[in-house]
Structure 1
Amino acid sequence: MKKLFAGVFVIAISVMLFQSCRQGPPIRQADQVNLDSFMGDWYVIANIPTFIEKGAHNAVESYAKSKKDVIDTTFSFNKNSFDGKKKVYNPTGFVGDDPSNAVWDMQFLWPFKSEYIIVYVDPEYQYTIIGRTKRDYLWIMAREPQISEAALENLIQIAVDEGYDREQIMQVPQKWDEAADP
């Protein structure tokens, strides 16, 4: 019984510590996210990567609603080159109770959830920026694998205006042939 209590205690402390990592001034969030319009494939155009996605090529994040406020996610990329080993992760997104639908928790490993904020989405749902209060990770994504330099610069500037360091934002290589499917 003591081991069970100790295990529960360690998990509870870990969750509290993980949640306390949400430090920093508030970050902008999209006013209103239509979840149905947000679903589908998003190509990662630029990011401040997590450790698992360093060296990612052809990175794609795909969303599908599985039930109310639960988003099945598939994140895939080739490691270190276009021909590199294909990596696929399937975290679950949990849409928070904020009426904007812009605040999610992303769970890669139970019971831990990471803050995931839709900072920006354009009215046509062609571009989005995902960020975190800590400004440690960032994802600039688009519905197409290539976007104009002007569009990319505009999205990077939005991130910089929210406190992200421009020097840490890296472009993600994207190269798709016409027949390829993300």
Structure 2
Amino acid sequence: MKKIISLGIVIVVSLFAFQSCRQGPPIRMAEKVNLDLFMGDWFVIANIPTFIEKGAHNAIETYEREDENVINTTFSFNKDSFTGPKKEYNPTGFVQDDPSNAEWKMQFLWPFKSEYIIVYVDPAYEYTIIGRTKRDYVWIMARKPQIDQRELERLIQIAVDEGYDRNAIQLVPQEANKKP
């Protein structure tokens, strides 16, 4: 029964929340993303969440290259508290824009693919911002579960400069050095 409910959630997300058509002015894309450096764990520090992410604690997005332009993704979090039930989703990313590698399509359920834009990644690959042209969702992520408040404000300002509503961006609770 849980698998049927989870599949239903993924279908709804795929059909409504992650529509792949672009709507809105162009969004900035990172100039060049080194996919090998981008792989690994990213802690979600702040976001405008999709409905499945509401209440997420210890949210982590993990990327692993399957092929040159195919990225296996694991998105995991604890639901509603640090000790809440663990949730995990495994979409596949497809890199669309060569040579920047900043535009992906994320597929939760075949054949639907959603827009996934690497708006920013710092030169050390410690911080990234993922966005969409619609400005409906954004993810501010870091390699560590906690970041300096000034750095967080700088990253939020980048998202705001790209057209995101500052008031809609929420912090994601993270326990230091803990994976769900």
Q: TM-score, normalised by structure 2?
A: 0.88
Partner of 1:32: 32
Q: CA deviation at 1:98?
A: 3.5
Corresponding position of 1:56: 56
Checking the alignment, whether the CA contact within 8 Å between 2:20 and 2:114 is kept in structure 1 is no
Unpaired runs of at least 5, structure 1:
1-13
What is the CA–CA distance in structure 2 between the aligned matches of 1:100 and 1:79, rounded to whole Å?
34
Task: Give the conservation status (yes or no) of the 8 Å contact 2:63–2:72.
Answer: yes
Residue 138, structure 1, aligned to residue 110, structure 2: no
Partner-residue secondary structure (3-state), 2:27: coil
Instruction: Structure 2 unaligned segments of length 5 or more: list them.
Output: 1-13
Secondary structure, aligned partner of 1:130: strand
Return the letter of the residue paired with 2:24. G
Counterpart amino acid of residue 143 in structure 2: R
Which residue in 2 is equivalent to 1:94? Answer: 94
- The answer for the alignment partner of 1:110 in structure 2 is 110
Residue 129 of structure 1 is matched in structure 2 by 129
Alignment TM-score, normalising by the size of structure 1: 0.87
SS of 1:153's equivalent?
Answer: helix
* Secondary structure, aligned partner of 1:27: coil
Q: Which runs of 4+ in 1 moved over 4 A?
A: none
The offset of 1:20, in angstroms, is 6.6
The residue correspondences of 1:5-44 to structure 2 (distance < 5 A) are 21-44=21-44
Distance 2:101 2:107 in 1: 17
* 2:170 corresponding residue in structure 1: 170
Q: Secondary structure at the match of 1:52?
A: helix
For each residue in 1:45-72, what CA deviation from the matched residue of structure 2 results, as whole angstroms up to 9, or x when unmatched? 0000011111000000000000110000
Corresponding residue number in structure 2 for 1:67: 67
TM superposition shift of 1:99 = 1.6
Larger-Rg structure:
1
Aligned residue for 2:64, secondary structure, equals strand
Cα deviation for residue 181 of structure 1 reads 4.3
Deviation at 1:21, TM superposition (A): 3.6
Paired residue secondary structure (2:87): strand
Deviations 1:75-128 (A, max 9, x none): 000000001000000000000033200000000011100000000000000000
Cα distance per residue 1:22-56 (max 9 Å; x no partner): 10000000000000000000000000001111100
